[in-house]
Structure 1
Amino acid sequence: MKIYHNPRCSKSRQTLALIEDAGKEVEIVKYLENIPSKKELTEIINLLGIKPLQLIRKGEKDWKENFKGKELSDEEIIDAMIAYPKLIERPIVIKDQKAVLGRPPENVLDLL
């Protein structure tokens, strides 16, 4: 099991706690420090079964100042998340070939 985690985010911390409380071994990826590659981010989006735009934190300053209101392709949106990793919604939890977004944190229970 792997979690793309931001320790400063309460939802991310709550999701990690649910995993740890279940006694599961988890690999923690601090995605703001270890930014996913384009290939990795594309795979995550595919596992989540969503469009790239659905993984964007649209309230972030970087989104509002650089991208809001623009027509962007899926590839351009993925490139934006790599350039500005704060735009990536969190936390993302992956187990085998399944992924969930920990919003709400209880979504992770589907993987436990």
Structure 2
Amino acid sequence: MIEYWHNPRCSKSREGLALLEDRGVDLHLRRYLEQAPNLEELQAARAALGNPPVIEMMRPKEPRFKELGLSTSDSDETLLAAMAANPVLIERPLAIKGDRAVIGRPPEKLLELL
């Protein structure tokens, strides 16, 4: 089972979803803007991604990033808290399978979980 953090308004997220569905993957679809992950879930997703710098999990070009006065050099803790409070900042799509995860940019990266 893959948990897929999806934003249906995002073309890359839709492409990734179609890619997985075309392969018959068992999915749990999570519209993360409506079902925002909490801090612990974001920390677990980061660990599954291999503990990258948190900024790699974010959308720094998202207007909300600037509105909040965030910087790419902010601490991981600050950035994680910002994502928990503002899920629009989370890079999408994100797919999690067990203790592994990938960000589907490009969407073909999602195939690494299969």
TM-score range, shorter chain: over 0.9
Quote how far apart the aligned CAs of 1:71 are. Answer: 5.0
TM-score (norm: length of structure 1): 0.94
Quote how far apart the aligned CAs of 1:37 are. Answer: 1.0
- Give the Cα–Cα distance (whole angstroms) in 2 for the partners of residues 7 and 22 of structure 1: 19
Quote how far apart the aligned CAs of 1:69 are. Answer: 3.7
Quote how far apart the aligned CAs of 1:46 are. Answer: 1.2
Q: Could you tell me which residue of structure 1 aligns to residue 58 of structure 2?
A: 56
Relative to 1, partners in 2 of residues 1:70 and 1:26: Cα closer, same or farther, differing over 3 Å?
closer
Q: Could you tell me which residue of structure 1 aligns to residue 87 of structure 2?
A: 85
Unmatched 5+ residue regions in structure 2?
none
Q: Could you tell me which residue of structure 1 aligns to residue 107 of structure 2?
A: 105
Q: Could you tell me which residue of structure 2 aligns to residue 11 of structure 1?
A: 12
Q: Could you tell me which residue of structure 2 aligns to residue 96 of structure 1?
A: 98
4+ residue segments displaced more than 2 Å: 67-72
Q: How many residues end up aligned between the 2 structures? A: 112
Identity %: 46
- Give the Cα–Cα distance (whole angstroms) in 2 for the partners of residues 4 and 108 of structure 1: 12
TM-score (norm: length of structure 2): 0.92
Q: Could you tell me which residue of structure 1 aligns to residue 27 of structure 2?
A: 26
- Give the Cα–Cα distance (whole angstroms) in 2 for the partners of residues 69 and 88 of structure 1: 15
Quote how far apart the aligned CAs of 1:72 are. Answer: 2.4
The one-letter code sitting in structure 1 at the alignment partner of 2:22 is D
- Give the Cα–Cα distance (whole angstroms) in 2 for the partners of residues 47 and 84 of structure 1: 21
Pairing 1:34-45 to 2, within 5 Å after superposition:
34-45=35-46
Relative to 1, partners in 2 of residues 1:100 and 1:69: Cα closer, same or farther, differing over 3 Å?
closer
RMSD: 1.3
Q: Could you tell me which residue of structure 1 aligns to residue 69 of structure 2?
A: 67
